[in-house]
Structure 1
Amino acid sequence: MCGLVPDASAAQDGPVRARGSRRLAERLAERAAPSDRGALSLDDLAALVYRELAADVAYDFACLAVTDPASGVVTWASKTRSLGIGDEEFAAAEYGGPDVNKFEDIARRTPPVGLLSVDTNGHPETCRRHRDFMQPRFGFTDELRAAFVSRGAVWGALGVYRGPGDPPFTTEDGDAVAEAAPVLAQAIQRSLFQLPADPDPATVDTGHGGPAVLVVDEADRATHLTPAARTALDELGGRDHGSLPANLLAVVATCRHTGAPFGTRVRTPAGQWLSLRAAPLAGDDADQPGSDAAETGRDVVVTVEPAPRAALSRLALTAHGLTAREEEVALLVLQGANTRSIAAALHLSPHTVQDHLKKVFAKVGVASRRELTAKLMLA
């Protein structure tokens, strides 16, 4: 679920707008820019967003999330404060059936922003998520959501909420967040694909200790898990109020809703990338006459393993804004090809290959093929 404590005055006295001297997007672009120490960590980026947002759009609670651009599910989230529960209900609401202003729908809009009170014509109760979960559980009265899209891929999302007695969000609030959305998409990309200062080796044991596999029941409890899976849960962020990690719950909820296998990639706090794969679990008699089809697929089996290098390298290149041709050149470099072989494979002149490489180096922030390989071979 998408929470830290915002501006104290907003938390105590309700939303009182204090417009910043410069636009939200401009301030975020300046303060989220990479420094000599590299890009902001995701935690630091979230703190920056909450602080700057409060100056333009007052709120009671907010959540910044990172999504896997391939699968679209949340893989990391920060909250302005703890809501005292795990993320099972959020995952079920967000990745279940159709609803108003789901993140996947907002991502297809221009701009990719949704205001619940506006989009429901003043009747937020028509949103299942709000009516059955957000309002009765936490007292939230309105919701502003945004997706952070870059080159057609969704890299993150923001959920902002108001409480009892607060006025609804306005289109002006939505415009401020919409203008900042591309800035935040780029900032998340930089955070995801910078090398950790002290990279730790992956600790998910898929060797002699066996695979990391767990079975999740219909109440989202891990009923069976291998020893390696216990380590994997810690790698994925650990339990939250006794609940499984939010990124794992998102995969399980999506698999359960579709009834089909589903997977995503997650960057751990240690800077490693893991692949999560979920599949429905059913007994041998699931297809037999008289079996209860409604009960099949409620239990889900999840496997966790290091993410493939090739997939991560392509994702990293996309995150750095390379063109399709520049991606082709860079991927061949990562495979060890020299300039002549790249030119032959892509039907280019060696001079043109070198021109593309210069642009690749500039966009990724490296000076040589060796540095490019070190930065992009992230698994």
Structure 2
Amino acid sequence: MARPAPSLSLRDRLARDLAAPSSMEDVADRVYAATRRHIDFDFACFATTDPTTGVLTWASKTRDLGVGDVDFAAAEYGAPDINKFDEIARRDPPVAILSIDTDGDLSRCRRHREFMSPVFGFGDELRACFLGRAATWAVLALYRRADEPSFTPADAAVIAATGAVVADAVQRALFRLPPPGGSHAGPDRGGPAVVIVDAADRVTHMTAGARAAVDVLGGLDHGQLPPGILAVVASTRTSGAPLTTQTLTRDGTWLSVRTAPLDGVATVPDVVVTVEPTSRAAVSRMALAAHGLTAREEDVALQVLQGAHTRDIAATLHLSPYTVQDHLKTIFAKLGVSSRREMTARLVLDA
């Protein structure tokens, strides 16, 4: 589609607009607005992912489609399909256009054939993953109507250039506050937070604590569970294995969503979901990864945050004290602190 050339590249525009995000909703809105100045689209969805599992934890849309996210979660974490986010994340660059990857036959894609086209009238799809430090922090999907031109390799290149900028903004939004302590609005109200979801993704049982947890995770969407829960349920149903993801709630606390198949259920299992406050240790490890620490640097930092001295860290991790000190210098530089005390004040662990 012909349009005047913008004065700024999308990458530079996002670098400016995402310099100080106030929330994840703010990040999504700025991504939509900036992208629309460079690439035409009819509908877009922006979502965060758990960097350790790649599973979606929160999602935003440019408009309400009138349905929840059950079909989206089932398509993304169900049977094999073309251009799933986990596959795109392994590409270089991590961007995909459906019309190109289906050789122009969009019906080869199951999600397009079964609901994106017949239910919403969508045509081509452009998907991108935003990676930082080899982990996926967010994803974006753009859609055009069936009567609109397909996306182009030039569109993909424009989006690909923004990867690090968007990933950095997401990390800053996620870790703009110290790890939570004290109050957790969801699971602590009404007792344990447990949900049982049947094979049709209907909630068959829900504790009072789970109702509070669902509310802070985004609330019911057209009667369906929030995307961050549906994604974990769908993944567990497909793999048959338990899964845990960490997600930041809209009130600024971290919650762990755990799923497991319900014993004694055949074929397509019912899934048990539990929600509980994320340990400060788990949040601190994610925060350290977000600041670019290597696995070994994370190990050293976590020891420091638990009060260990250099000699003890060296013995525990089988390093020399000099190597520990070298790691600490690098850690301080990456975190923007100058001492153990400053680091501990920023990332506090439970004793």
| TM-score of the two chains, using structure 1 as the length reference | 0.85
1:19 to partner: Cα distance: 3.1
Residue equivalent to 1:364: 335
Contact 2:117 2:123 in 1 (8 A): yes
Contact 1:263 1:275 in 2 (8 A): yes
Deviations 1:246-290 (A, max 9, x none): 11111111111122222211111111111111111243xx6xxxx
1:243 aligns with 2:224: yes
Matching residue within 86, 99, 111 for 1:129: 111
Deviations 1:77-102 (A, max 9, x none): 11111111111111111110100000
1:315 aligns with 2:308: no
Q: 1:143 is paired with a residue of what secondary structure?
A: strand
Decide whether aligned partners of structure 1 residues 377 and 237 sit closer, same or farther in structure 2, where only a CA change above 3 A counts: farther
Residue equivalent to 1:147: 129
1:133 to partner: Cα distance: 1.0
Distance 1:97 1:157 in 2: 20
| Structure 1 letter corresponding to 2:16 | E
Matched residue count: 349
Distance 1:364 1:245 in 2: 33
Decide whether aligned partners of structure 1 residues 241 and 371 sit closer, same or farther in structure 2, where only a CA change above 3 A counts: farther
Residue equivalent to 2:276: 305
1:191 to partner: Cα distance: 1.1
1:341 to partner: Cα distance: 3.4
1:302 to partner: Cα distance: 0.6
Q: 1:168 is paired with a residue of what secondary structure?
A: coil
Residue equivalent to 1:103: 85
Distance 1:335 1:136 in 2: 55
Contact 2:123 2:145 in 1 (8 A): yes
Distance 1:17 1:140 in 2: 22
Distance 2:260 2:120 in 1: 32
The worse-fitting range, judged by mean Cα deviation, of 190-199 and 107-116 is: 190-199
- Where structure 2 has 5 or more consecutive residues not aligned to the other structure, the ranges are none
1:348 aligns with 2:334: no
Distance 1:46 1:128 in 2: 27
Q: 1:141 is paired with a residue of what secondary structure?
A: strand
Q: 1:271 is paired with a residue of what secondary structure?
A: coil
Contact 1:144 1:159 in 2 (8 A): yes
Distance 1:277 1:174 in 2: 35
| Structure 2 letter corresponding to 1:24 | L
Contact 1:312 1:378 in 2 (8 A): no
1:345 to partner: Cα distance: 4.4
Residue equivalent to 1:332: 303
Residue equivalent to 2:38: 56
Contact 1:62 1:79 in 2 (8 A): yes
Residue equivalent to 1:88: 70
Distance 1:199 1:31 in 2: 31
| Structure 1 letter corresponding to 2:253 | Q
Matching residue within 155, 164, 167 for 1:173: 155
The worse-fitting range, judged by mean Cα deviation, of 218-227 and 53-62 is: 218-227
Matching residue within 38, 41, 46 for 2:28: 46
1:24 aligns with 2:10: yes
1:46 to partner: Cα distance: 1.0
| Structure 1 letter corresponding to 2:137 | W
Supply the RMSD in Å over aligned alpha carbons. Answer: 2.3
Contact 1:67 1:73 in 2 (8 A): yes
Q: 1:105 is paired with a residue of what secondary structure?
A: helix
Contact 2:186 2:214 in 1 (8 A): no
1:30 to partner: Cα distance: 2.8
Matching residue within 194, 204, 210 for 2:186: 204
Q: 1:223 is paired with a residue of what secondary structure?
A: strand
- Where structure 1 has 5 or more consecutive residues not aligned to the other structure, the ranges are 1-14, 287-292
Contact 1:32 1:40 in 2 (8 A): no
Contact 1:113 1:145 in 2 (8 A): yes
Contact 1:146 1:158 in 2 (8 A): yes
Contact 1:212 1:304 in 2 (8 A): yes
Contact 2:305 2:349 in 1 (8 A): no
Distance 2:296 2:243 in 1: 30
